[in-house]
Structure 1
Amino acid sequence: MFTGLSAFPLTPMNESGIDEEAFIRLIQRAADAKVDSISALGSTGSYAYLTREERKRAATFAVQHANGIPVMVGIGSLRTRDVLQFAEDAQEAGVSAVLLAPVSYQPLTEREVYSLYETVTRSLSIPLCVYDNPRVTHFTFRDELLGEIAQLPNIGSIKIPPVSSNHDEAKARVDQLRALIPSHVKIGISGDWSAAAGLNAGCDIWYSVLGGLYPEISLRITRAALTGSAEEALALSEQLEPLWELFRQHGGLRVIASAALRLGIGSNPNLPQPIQGLDEKARQQLDEVIQRLALQS
């Protein structure tokens, strides 16, 4: 479940609800490419903007159309009560794992974050991935806290922020965390431009925004890194640098949402307000990058 490539698809939507046809197309696109897992309702899937019923339907659709590929869904919310409800719904939908970030409005303390994971893991019969994403949660995990949480039952993976492009520094970062967690807990890399470096440094899985729309090139990078072809993985990633630069400038969500429209998947708008897609100048830049990298399909 927590090795290889995990594709994080967009959840196309407007203010009327989820574009279910477009969402299913994205799930099928990942499944047809034979990714290792599909992570619906991650940050790219805009889970925080969906009602409980919308999350239930999306989880159900993801499982139904994944063609047997394991599905993980995000269950984060402001209140532990709601997280527990989302976890129950996800398990009823038949997902293989859940993803949990410490979502907050009031800044959370370490004690509160530990309590969240302790409470939720007690209610689960499936694994949980700890989502460390300080850019969106505004909570920064210390490695020691991750080590304590990793001892809880049903913790299967930790999704970490981007690592250094310097191999020795990246490997030291991964090794430092691995020394604090049980051997069965897998380490996943996020920040797509950092994926090749993270996998080469010893991460087990790439939690990929790009893989949710372009699974084939994402699989090539992943397979190269995990089979020891580190230079090939880095070279393939370097070819995508114009796209990574757009990710860093505008956020992967906005770029992928606009790229999905470019491929004819869904209709505009496809993001929850007040979030908007790329402006005209950035869309033109994206069009040029898509053509240059031959990502038209």
Structure 2
Amino acid sequence: MFKGLSAFPLTPLVSGEIEEKSFISLIENLASAGVNSIGALGSTGSYAYLTREQRYRATKLAVSAAADIPVMTSIGHVSTEEVLRLAEDAQKAGVSGVLLAPLSYQKLSSDEVFRLFERVTTQLSVPLCIYDNAATTGFEFTDELLVALSYLNNVGSIKLSDFPVDPSAAQKRVSSLKNRVSEGVTIGISGDAQSAAGLIAGCDVWYSVLGGLFPHYSLRLTQAALRGDESQTHQLNMALEPLWVFYRRHGSLRVIAAVAEIMGTVSAPCLPFPLQSLVGKERVSLEEALEKLQFLA
């Protein structure tokens, strides 16, 4: 399941509760588009803000609405015991994989992170994706640690966020990881604005925020990159530059939430309090940019 386009949808909230109708519609849209997998309750899905009960409910809804598309859900939490309970819930809900970022109030060491993943993977019956997201966790994986973790039982993929800007350095890093990780473990790229470059550099999967709302266009870009068509990949990616500008200023979550609100796909506000999507002049500017991005729909 860890290949191609893995689409990460929003979990729309109203007064802190999941707006189930909109959430199901988002999942059904992804299934209809034929994405390779669905990353329900990733960072875009606001997993860290939801209760255990909400996460279980959302995961069950996603699995049901996804039909035969594999669903992955996050099991991240600051408490390892809660991670294990969330893993049990996810498997009970019928997921095909789980996503784990090393969340902690105290900064973790590499040894502590290894021990966390070692403990969790021994209690899984589905594959795990290692979530490298230093921007939210404060923990920076080394490639040496990623390689070591790849040899644990049930590890299926590595979701990279920190990535070299230089194309030759990017290709070198991906090639090095692929040559060293355990057989069958895929290398994925996140951070939408850099993902085209990541795929061209040899990554196997795009863990995509954009794909959670616009799966058809995201699939075109992914497929072009994976077949080695650098020209078309560059063209498709450059067409998204008006959106990437906002990503760089505000981060992907606030921007994609604002886009979904503007389109009427979800109710506004849709993010967990106190987070908010774009407001004021930036929202107006985003609305104007969307006029140039109607091809996404």
Question: Which TM-score band applies after superposition, normalised by the shorter structure?
Answer: over 0.9
Deviations 1:139-169 (A, max 9, x none): 0001111111111000000000153343212
Deviation at 1:289, TM superposition (A): 1.3
More displaced stretch, 164-173 vs 188-197: 164-173
Q: Tell me, in whole angstroms, the C-alpha distance in 2 between the residues paired with 1:62 and 1:231.
A: 35
The answer to whether the 8 Å contact 1:98/1:128 transfers is: yes
Is the Cα contact below 8 Å between 2:22 and 2:265 reproduced in 1?
A: yes
* CA drift at 1:176: 2.3
Match of 2:21 in 1: 21
User: How far has the Cα of 1:102 moved from its partner?
Assistant: 0.3
The answer to whether the Cα contact below 8 Å between 1:164 and 1:194 also exists between their aligned partners in 2 is no
Which whole-Å deviations, capped at 9, do the CAs of 1:27-47 have from their partners, x for residues lacking one? 011111111100000000000
Q: Is the 8 A contact 2:214 2:296 kept in 1?
A: no
Any idea what the Cα deviations from partners look like across 1:63-103, whole Å, max 9, x if unmatched?
A: 00012100000110001000000000000010000000001
2 CA distance for matches of 1:229 and 1:296? 20
Per the alignment, residue 198 of structure 1 pairs with: 198
> Is residue 43 of structure 2 the alignment partner of residue 43 of structure 1?
yes
Unmatched runs of 5 consecutive residues or more in structure 1: none
How big is each residue's C-alpha offset from its partner over 1:217-245, in whole Å with a ceiling of 9 and x where there is no partner? 11010000111212211111011011011
Measured in 1, the distance between the counterparts of 2:230 and 2:95 equals: 32
8 A Cα contact 1:143 1:180, kept in partner: no
Runs of 4+ in 1 over 3 A off after TM superposition: none
Question: What residue identity is the alignment partner of 2:122?
Answer: R
SS at structure 2 position matched to 1:141: coil
Could you tell me how far 1:178 is from its partner in structure 2? 2.0
1:119-138 aligned within 5 A: 119-138=119-138
Report how far residue 14 of structure 1 moved: 3.0
How much has 1:175 moved relative to structure 2?
1.5
Tell me, in whole angstroms, the C-alpha distance in 2 between the residues paired with 1:47 and 1:290: 27
Alignment of 1:64-213 (within 5 A): 64-213=64-213
TM-aligned CA distance change 1:13 to 1:295, over 3 Å? farther
Label 1:162 to 1:141 Cα distance change in 2 as closer, same or farther (>3 A).
closer
**Contact 1:90 1:98 survives alignment (8 Å):** yes
Asked if the contact 1:162/1:194 (under 8 Å) is kept, the reply is no
Alignment-derived partner of residue 12 in structure 2: 12
Alpha-carbon distance in 2 for matches of 1:22, 1:36:
21
Identity of aligned residues (%): 54
Q: After alignment, is 166-175 or 50-59 more displaced?
A: 166-175
In the TM superposition, 1:217-228 aligns within 5 A as 217-228=217-228
Name the residue aligned to 2:254.
Answer: 254
Unaligned runs of 5+ in 2: none
Pairwise CA RMSD = 1.1
Matched residue pairs, number?
A: 297
What CA distance in whole angstroms lies between the structure 1 residues aligned with 2:95 and 2:295? 30
155 and 296 in structure 1: CA distance in 2 versus 1, 3 angstrom threshold = closer
